[in-house]
Amino acid sequence: MGNLCLLLVTGSLVLFFSGFAVAVDTLDASRPLSDGETIASSGGAFELGFFSPGSSRGRYLGIWYKNIPVRTVVWVANRSNPINDSSGMLMINSTGNTVLLSRNSSVVWSPNTTEQAKNPILQLLDNGNLVLRDDKNDSLNSYLWQSFDYPTDTFLPEMKLGWNLKTGLDRQLSSWKSPDDPSLGDFTWGMANRNFPDVIAWKGSNKYFRSGPWNGLRFGGAPQQGSNSIFWYNFVANGDEIYYMYHVTNKSVLVRTILNQTNYLWERSTWSEATQSWRLFLTVPKDYCDTYGICGVYSKCTTDQLPYCQCLKGFAPKNPDEWNSTDGSQGCVRNKPLNCSTSASDGFIKYSNMKLPDTTHCLVDSTLSLKDCRSKCLNNCSCTAYANSDIRGRGSGCAMWFGDLIDMRQYPDAGQVLYVRMPDSEIGKSKSKVWIVLIVALAIATAIGMLIAICYTRRRRNNFRDRAENISEGQESERPDDDLELPLFDLHTIAESTNNFSMRNKLGEGGFGPVYKGILVDGREIAVKRLSRSSRQGLREFKNEVILIAKLQHRNLVKLLGCCIQGDEKLLIYEYMPNKSLDAFIFDKERSKLLDWHKRFNIICGVARGLLYLHQDSRLRIIHRDLKASNVLLDSEMNPKISDFGMARIFGGDETEGNTNRVVGTYGYMAPEYAIDGLFSVKSDVFSFGILVLETVSGKRNRGLYHSNHSLVGHAWELYQAGKSSELIDSCLVDTSNLSQVLRCVHIGLLCLQEHPEDRPSMSSVVTMLNSDNALAVPQQPGFLVERNPHRGNSSSGVDSSIVHEITFTLLEAR
């Protein structure tokens, strides 16, 4: 592969040289490049020169973005052979060879070329590619050598990742050893040269992550690489090449992908002029199940239920003891062997939403239909599974696996169908179980129907009375024995971990009861939410929160570890957030100083991503209905996590909004259509997010009264109209804030607060607006202003009196 590489984002540099830049983008035999000089691409996007990374004193020849303040290197020539002084020189010598020389003219690096040019020149292109070509050959892409063929840790748009099958060239990324040392690190990332190719990351000689094979639209194990407005993908597999490439939609947007030596192995980010920093767009591995082969053979990994590793139907853990201790690496074995050549036949079990298994032992025939694929697999005793090789349209092509199946996972709403071979006796057993269940269910239903007929009159007579009593007492019909599909903790264990719910362990108290810090016997820190017996949250809301959070997996949502239902006690056990909630910082005069603007902006963006996941990317559309500063928890690094899903509602299919007579939520955060008419949708969450943004920027609660007797919303709107939104900024942010970014957040917040739900942006649009510098729409006047009502009257509007008696809603007419 040669000794050529690319660099990643580096911190401070020991040597900031302002050397003089050659006016052109090329070097020839008469124009060498010395240490202290640079050349720039014709459009000014990239620069080539010498540099020292981090605290290193070694000098390297590299390429970096020319107009980014923090030097971001994308390629290094002599990554494993630094020059120890400033004597380095890049030149084309008298024999026409390109060489990098150090003191005493010793060759440090030279490109590996097989052809000799009559008039060789080196040219730095505006896509970051350094090319060697013949000055007399004007044909496009006629290069004798190019840096894009020898990447290091940075994958740029228009760069190929993969194989040239004619020459045997393997273009793959390799991580730096450290930010100070660009030599080879532990990780490599490249295209597997096989019949059904996918992209694999190795740690040393071991597979670390696998993308899943290309399914015609994207790599099957990376559903987060779906369609977006920033870049698009290109995959080529033919007799000459196998490679993957991505292109940016807007050439002015700077996008890079780097291979790190960290937990987030693979990162794609875009440069933000507003923040003067890189904005993370995609990361791999995304979660526990992204680790290669974490559950062993014949097992699928799932993140929406526990345990994460689950044997396929007809299989059992190979080592039950290790399996029960959450170590699934040895995988599963068949309960019964395949029949194959015996008189009995085999069949297939269908699995949906799957990441297809490792394709090392896989064959593809693009001409076969799925039906023919099944027949061909069934007629080969070694074939263990099959699937479509292309999912476009109704699916096409045939992929067949031979041998053990490994590195599978099941997504809530992504992936594709996989058919796994099983002995017919196991399939028949499954069918028999289904029939037994149906017959039993029918018998039970008949018995229940008879009981209903007997009790109908009595129940009808008492129904209205029971409902009236439940409503007046704030209760529901509750059954504690439902299967919550989550680890159940013993009450004694939780009591011991919290020092018997000691006041010293109390972290705070929400609308549904106190929260305590606990430490389990294994040392894990937990937060225990103890449902108050007088709480408005009944068992229904409690179960709702358990079921919802147990199925959600996102870095900006709090993680639920388990629950406890014992007697009158209902407890939720969460991961512990050492910095508690956002309101504890932004509304506190002293602690607010600990949240500079960079941290606050990251919190705003994190909450936006969490809501986007709830609204769009999770298996079901989820409306939180109680988003507020106290429900945004902060981990040790001040990363935000949305919590408290007791009031959340699930939408499925094409549902977009709901209606309720029981309005629940928090004063100051509710959208007008929800507070007044009981209508809620994703746009009511957007409204709450808008309030949260203004509070985070200003450090003021929306409930307070400010200038002209306005709430925070009214005050922000008044300042926006006067062109004075900067006066809204928290005084402690003056020295740390990026004014244009803060004003953009205020603008986005007001867009989220518009009166009509259809005028508010979706959370996907909000995330895009936060991470771009594009022009924003002009907001309309907010839906209502919330002011204190000095006369606390009763409500007759159907809204919970516990909320309405504290506020009045003043509808604003459009001006």
Strand partners, 124: 130
- Please check whether the domain covering 581-811 is classified as CATH 3.20.20.70: no
**What is the rounded CA–CA span in Å between residue 11 and residue 601?**
21
Confidence band for 141, pLDDT divided at 50, 70 and 90: low
Q: Which of 341-355, 444-458, 639-653, 720-734 has the lowest mean pLDDT?
A: 444-458
pLDDT, position 619: 67
pLDDT, position 791: 36
Tell me the mean pLDDT in the region 18-36: 75
Task: Inform me whether the pLDDT recorded for 22 exceeds 50.
Answer: no
Instruction: Tell me if 311 sits within 8 A of 332, measured CB to CB.
Output: yes
Asked, colleague to colleague, whether 1-150 and 481-576 share their fold, the answer is no
Instruction: Tell me if 53 sits within 8 A of 60, measured CB to CB.
Output: yes
b/e for 422-458, b at 16 or more Cβ within 10 A? bbebbbebeeeeeeeeeeeeeeeeeeeeeeeeeeeee
Confidence band for 310, pLDDT divided at 50, 70 and 90: very high
**In percent, how much of the chain has pLDDT > 70?**
79
Active site residues: 626
CATH number for the segment(s) 1-150: 2.90.10.10
Tell me the mean pLDDT in the region 586-602: 93
Tell me the mean pLDDT in the region 567-593: 89
pLDDT higher at 785 or 191:
191
Tell me the mean pLDDT in the region 36-54: 95
Q: What are 374-405's pLDDT values in tens digits?
A: 999 998 888 999 999 998 877 889 999 999 99
How many Cβ atoms from other residues are within 10 Å of residue 377's Cβ? Answer: 25
Tell me the mean pLDDT in the region 604-613: 95
SS (H, E, C) 146-178: EHHHCCCCEECCCCCEEEECCCCEEECEEEEEE
**What is the rounded CA–CA span in Å between residue 177 and residue 256?**
19
pLDDT higher at 763 or 233:
763
Q: What are 110-122's pLDDT values in tens digits?
A: 998 877 778 899 9
pLDDT, position 312: 95
pLDDT, position 746: 96
Tell me the mean pLDDT in the region 20-41: 83
pLDDT, position 809: 28
Q: What are phi and psi of 337, to 5 degrees?
A: -70, 160
Q: What are 724-748's pLDDT values in tens digits?
A: 999 999 999 987 788 999 999 999 9
Confidence band for 654, pLDDT divided at 50, 70 and 90: very low
Q: What are phi and psi of 547, to 5 degrees?
A: -65, -40
Tell me the mean pLDDT in the region 657-681: 69
Confidence band for 544, pLDDT divided at 50, 70 and 90: low
3-state secondary structure of 271: strand
Confidence band for 541, pLDDT divided at 50, 70 and 90: low
Q: In CATH, which of 3.30.200.20, 2.60.120.560, 3.40.640.10, 3.40.1190.20 is domain 481-576?
A: 3.30.200.20
Q: What is the pTM of this model?
A: 0.54
Tell me the mean pLDDT in the region 55-80: 95
Q: What are 688-730's pLDDT values in tens digits?
A: 999 999 999 999 988 755 555 568 998 999 999 999 999 999 9
Tell me the mean pLDDT in the region 406-422: 91
**What is the rounded CA–CA span in Å between residue 619 and residue 223?**
13
pLDDT higher at 102 or 138:
102
3-state secondary structure of 795: coil
Q: Which of 12-21, 58-67, 626-635, 783-792 has the lowest mean pLDDT?
A: 12-21
Instruction: Tell me if 74 sits within 8 A of 7, measured CB to CB.
Output: yes
User: Using CA of residue 793, residue 796, residue 797, residue 802, what is the dihedral sign?
Assistant: positive
Domain ranges of the chain: 1-150, 152-286, 290-427, 481-576, 581-811
pLDDT, position 156: 96
Verify cis geometry, omega within 30 degrees of 0, for the bond prior to 307.
Answer: yes
Q: Which of 99-108, 446-455, 668-677 has the lowest mean pLDDT?
A: 446-455
As a whole number of angstroms, the longest Cα–Cα distance in the chain is: 105
Amino acid at 434: V
Residue 495 vs residues 507, 524, 528, 565: alpha-carbon distances, Å: 15, 15, 10, 13
Tell me the mean pLDDT in the region 324-332: 86
Of 146, 45, 28, nearest in space to 96 by CA: 28
**What is the rounded CA–CA span in Å between residue 276 and residue 762?**
26
**Close Cβ partners of 360 (under 8 Å, ≥ 6 residues apart):** 192, 194
pLDDT, position 553: 80
Strand partners, 231: 248
